[in-house]
Structure 1
Amino acid sequence: MSFDKSFENRIKAILGEEFDAFMTSLSTEKITALRVNLLKANTSERIEKIKTALSEDGTDFSSEINWEQNGIIYAGGAPGKHPLHEAGAYYIQEPSAMSPVYYLDPKPGEKILDLCAAPGGKSTQIASKMNNEGILVSNEIDKKRAQILSLNIERCGIRNALVTNMEPSGLSEVFEGYFDKILVDAPCSGEGMFRKNDEAIDNWSPENVRLCSRRQTDILKQAVKMLAPGGRLVYSTCTFAPEEDEYQAAMLLSWGMKPVKAELFEGMVSGDITNLQRILDTGENLLETRAVIDTLSEETQEEIKICSGRLWPHRIKGEGHFFAIFEKEGDISLNADLYGINGKVRTVNVDDIKPFSEFADEFLSDICIVPDENGKRKKASCRLVGELKGVPFMFGDQLYLAPEGMPGIGGITVMRPGLHLGTMKNGRFEPSHSLALALSKENVKHCHEAGSVSEAMSFIGGMSSRVPGLEKGWYLITIDGFSLGWAKYAGGILKNHYPKGLRIYT
């Protein structure tokens, strides 16, 4: 593994005597981990089912992750190729990458933005802590990456997410002062991923670090604009460059953001703005940041130490990461019932979703369509028994379910406007794969359990199966109780409805 000499000089300036230990850590095996999805594995029994199934497939679990109680470090096996992965029972995520959401501290009922969200690790982590209550906006500027984000939101059975594909500046025009909490896991030079990503090594240069720094500052300006008074903002990167880390923290403080004390876990160290000076001392040109260094007060330097943390791969079980925590001046309780300029998403007429109502009556358990309170119009507020609830609305011929209070989508480039329930086709309703993954066997009247991993993978590969003696209609296919998708039974055959674009052929 060969590194740019400038990179080595920078890290040596920051770490001093720890430099050799750091370099040695980059030549060791990367740490692999997964995070159990509490939206699906919401009991200790279900979590044990996941562990048992993966252990039988050759996965060895070791230590838990201090800052994520549902994260587990593992070795061996192939959890990413197991049917439970396709069922969204867990998300494979590097341990250090789980730390920013711990400090964001998401709670049910909040309005939260993940501004740079692809591929979706942190968004799905946030959603699992929101328990499908509140509003989660997951945004990604790159369309292809936004599509991957949307698929991961779907796979994890998330019901309260609006996935958008917007420039931060465009998003802030719609959501000024809207969010209770914002995570900015900013695009960066990726130094913290060198152990697991050779491309990040090849693409590194001092010029790219400075380019990333300017872009991060622009993104943060928009994030601050979208944060409600009293709201919390967590900024994070997977890089060691102080121009992308402590410098951005200094900018946030200069804009009036208030530092929040970070309680660090063993192995973490505080951020330090003097890391910028150490880079300067190597002879590197940091004209854009020198003025900031010269004007920083001792109080500001101390505030950066208090509110930020660094994760180094030679100190913890994980890759490199940085985070910093801030709040905006004000009272967040005043934001509880406020909406953006688009207001709320508009519901549909009861008659317009009659095919869905008929499908629900026949195949889903305990679902009802509730007219609006004033009775003047037959508006519907559709919910399934338990946690699946919200406002149904049409997006073309597609029926979606929005969480209560979801903002209107006018003027927004949307990849996924809530939970996709299905498609209206010539007076009938066909359920979506998203709906299957958002349901459990308790939510349906017909369920068929795959009896083995091979049977489950056969279903994921698009194979239909002959099963005698079942009732006609839609069946939720499961493995170990976790939903995989739909099949429709007729003539002794469970016809496979797993989406062709998602099939895995073995």
Structure 2
Amino acid sequence: MVQFPQAFLDSIEAILPAHLNLDDFVAISQQPLRRAIRVNTLKISVAEFEQGMTAQGWRLTPVPWCAQGFWLDRDNDDNQLGNTPEHLAGLYYIQEASSMMPPTALFALANAPQHVLDVASAPGSKTSQMAALMGNEGVLIANEYSSSRIKSLHANMQRLGIRNVSLTHFDGKVFGPTLPEQFDAILLDAPCSGEGTVRKDPDAMNNWSMEAIHSIADVQKSLIDSAFAALKPGGVMVYSTCTLLSEENQAICWYLKQQFPEQVEFISLAELFPGAERACTEEGFLHIWPQIYDSEGFFVAAIRKTGSIDTEHKPPHLRAFPFAHAKRKQIAELSEYFDSQLGLTLPAGQIMERENTLWWFPEGLEQYIGKIRMNRLGIRLAEVHKHGFKTQHEAIMSLPLASNKTAQLDREQATQYLMGRDVIMNNPGAKGEVIVTFDGHPLGLAKWVKNKLKNGLPRELVRDKISVC
């Protein structure tokens, strides 16, 4: 049961809109949060997903502010939800419904942005949502300050088949001085006190204090300053939190407005989706109280940069870039192998080489090379050996695939494969590497050995148990 400090309840009561009351807020905060998922349209259409999963007994209720989002009414718990073949194939992402709103707002207002920054991205829900909205085109710089979360962030991008994201590992304050006015659109989902998350984390309020909030607000101000400096004139930034008090929300936006009164324009989100006006403030921000939409508490503000600002440019000191352009012969041989053996197509971009490994970089990434250190960038395609190539798992998950050259598995076979086991499948004369798929979606690599597929799934991706829908 959630225990709210009285000082917190007093602060909430003081700012609740007239059409809401404190008793309803406290009551809904004790209720379990509805589970939600977002369809990954880089892998499957919403209609195809809905049809397939409804046939599996899933009951899906659309999330009104995200065309790819659904609340889920099913018996399985969250651990099982993350262990289905569909999830491991990257067809959906488990994501709280309110957190789908910031990317929706950003891309509704930005004009098909090709250079996007996500200032605080782990675990990757909003990053992956934005990558899908970009259709895997352009460049999305996803930053995460916590080194322990970079690995899981990269794993999520890989599973979802995302190839236009490059990861950085910095305090978000560096972006303004390092990359001034470089991005068409920026999402700042700021670190916060997390007051809105109590329905999934009853302990979220255990260390709550106004002193802590004031300290966090100082961090938020430094981040919004930096993000605004990195935004191009005419670009759009969305500032969001999963907290409720105005000190971390409206006050941060007004701080920025006071800093740059001529260059900051608040954009109303009152018409972002049907019913948005129920959470809209006078400024046009969305202050999402949990009882309005039966969701987490959240805050979303949209800001347009109407003119350039003065920013001190501080280029970083970087080591020599460790990649070189691959030779034409290597590119031709890899392209032929991918096409003839695996049915993979190399999309438009640059093929780079590093230590006998070939990589794919998205178009547009070159403008950041030499300007900022990237922790993980590009897609690792294949290791180059004396007698050929060793295909990498992330290439299989992210490159366009011709299904007629794959080994298609049924649900039972897919379960065996994802548990690291070889799969019995008689295919006389077949040899070499092959991509295994479930319902036409890649799971990983295998090798034909007589009457079976020898499992090539990376060990770190092997699951002990797979959930049956």
Report the TM range for the smaller structure's normalisation: 0.7 to 0.9
Match of residue 341, structure 2, among 363, 375, 389:
363
Partner of residue 433, structure 2: 474
Q: Which amino acid aligns with 1:60?
A: R
1:4-43 equivalence runs, <5 A: 4-15=5-16, 18-42=21-45
CA distance 1:341–1:427, shift in 2 (3 Å): farther
Between the aligned partners of 1:361 and 1:74, the Cα distance in structure 2 is 39
User: Which residue is equivalent to 2:181?
Assistant: 177
Amino acid at match of 1:504: R
Matched AA of 1:52: A
Supply the AA of the counterpart residue of 1:7: F
Q: Answer yes or no: is 1:483 the counterpart of 2:461.
A: no
2:90 aligns with one of 88, 91, 95: 88
Aligned residue number for residue 312 of structure 1: 289
1:262 alignment counterpart: 269
SS state at 2:396 partner: helix
- Return 395-404 or 83-92, whichever deviates more: 395-404
1:315-354 map, 5 Å: 315-330=292-307, 347-353=325-331
User: What does the per-residue CA deviation read over 1:317-337, in whole Å, with 9 as the maximum and x for residues that have no partner?
Assistant: 311000111111149xxxxxx
Structure 1 residues 157 and 47: CA distance shift in structure 2, 3 A? farther
Provide closer, same or farther for how the CA distance between residues 493 and 315 of structure 1 changes in structure 2, counting only shifts above 3 A.
Answer: same
Matches of 2:324 and 2:251, distance apart in 1: 43
Q: Give the C-alpha shift of residue 450 in structure 1.
A: 1.7
Counterpart Cα distance in 2 of 1:415 and 1:268: 40
CA deviation after TM superposition for structure 1 residue 409, in Å: 3.6
Matching residue within 119, 123, 142 for 2:123? 119
With over 3 angstroms needed to count, the CA separation of the structure-2 counterparts of 1:398 and 1:170, relative to structure 1, is farther
1:125 & 1:156 partners in 2: Cα distance?
A: 10
* Residues 30 and 318 in structure 1, CA contact (< 8 A), matched pair in contact too: yes
Query: Structure 1's 499 and 51: CA in aligned 2 closer, same or farther, altered over 3 A?
Result: farther
Cα distance, 1:225 vs. partner? 1.3
The answer for the alignment partner of 1:500 in structure 2 is 459
Q: Tell me which residue corresponds to 2:218.
A: 214
User: What letter corresponds to residue 302 of structure 2 in structure 1?
Assistant: I
Match of 2:311 in 1: none
C-alpha distance 466-404 of structure 1, shift in aligned 2 (>3 A): same
Supply the AA of the counterpart residue of 1:95: A
Determine whether 1:130 maps to 2:134: yes
1:427: Cα distance to partner?
Answer: 5.4
Q: 2-side partners of 1:50 and 1:107: how far apart?
A: 33
Identity between Structure 1 and Structure 2 (%): 30
Aligned residue in 2 for 1:66: 64
1:421 to 381, 398, 403: 381
SS of equivalent to 1:240:
coil
Q: CA deviation at 1:358?
A: 4.7
Change beyond 3 A, Cα 1:108–1:446: farther
Residue in 1 aligned with 2:313? none
1:45 paired with 2:48, answer yes
What corresponds to 2:191 in structure 1?
187
Match of 1:100 in 2: 102
Is the Cα contact below 8 Å between 1:268 and 1:316 reproduced in 2? no
Paired letter, 1:438? S
Is the CA contact (8 Å cut-off) linking 1:87 and 1:482 kept in structure 2? yes
Contact 1:269 1:310 (C-alpha < 8 Å) held by counterparts: no
Equivalent-residue separation in structure 2 for 1:145 and 1:268 (angstroms) = 35
Q: Distance in 2 between matches of 1:40 and 1:108?
A: 20
Q: Distance in 1 between matches of 2:106 and 2:28?
A: 28
**Deviation of the 1:467 alpha carbon:** 1.7
Is residue 434 from structure 1 mapped to residue 411 from structure 2 by the alignment?
no
Please give the alpha-carbon distance, in whole angstroms, between the structure 1 residues aligned to 2:375 and 2:139: 16
Distance apart, 1:33 and its partner CA: 0.8
Q: Supply the AA of the counterpart residue of 1:129.
A: L
Q: What is the TM-score with the length of structure 2 in the denominator?
A: 0.87
Query: Which of 428-437 and 211-220 deviates more?
Result: 428-437
* C-alpha spacing 1:252/1:46, structure 2 compared with 1 (3 Å): same
| CA positional deviation for 1:366 | 7.5
2:312 aligned partner: none
The question of whether the paired residues in 1 share the 8 Å contact of 2:269 and 2:286 is answered with yes
Cα separation, 1, equivalents of 2:392 and 2:245: 44
Give, in whole Å, the separation in 1 of the partners of 2:354 and 2:337: 19
Give, as a single letter, the amino acid of the residue that structure 2 aligns with 1:350: R
1:110 equivalent in structure 2: 114
Distance (whole Å) between structure 2 residues aligned to residue 449 and residue 203 of structure 1: 51
Work out the CA distance in 2 between the residues paired with 1:409 and 1:427.
Answer: 32
Q: Distance in 1 between matches of 2:344 and 2:165?
A: 23
Q: Answer yes or no: is the 8 Å Cα contact 1:50–1:89 preserved in 2.
A: no
CA distance in 1, matches of 2:33, 2:446: 39
For 1:151, the equivalent position in structure 2 comes to 155
Q: 1:423 to 1:172 in 2, by over 3 A?
A: farther
Alpha-carbon offset, residue 74 of structure 1:
0.8
Give the direction of change, closer, same or farther, for the CA distance of 1:198–1:500 in structure 2 (3 Å limit).
same
- The residue identity in structure 2 corresponding to 1:12 is E
Q: By how many angstroms is 1:129 displaced? A: 0.9
For the aligned residues, what is the CA RMSD? Answer: 2.5
Q: Which moved more, 1:136-145 or 1:168-177?
A: 168-177
Indicate how the Cα distance of structure 1 residues 414 and 341 shifts in structure 2: closer, same or farther if over 3 A, else same.
Answer: closer
Please tell me whether the aligned partners of residues 40 and 92 of structure 2 are also in contact (alpha carbons under 8 angstroms): yes
Q: Output the CA distance in 2 between the equivalents of 1:82 and 1:417.
A: 28
Bigger mean CA deviation after superposition, 84-93 or 3-12 = 3-12
Note if contact 1:477-1:483 (Cα within 8 Å) is conserved in structure 2: yes
The equivalent of 1:337 in structure 2 is none
Q: Distance in 2 between matches of 1:169 and 1:118?
A: 17
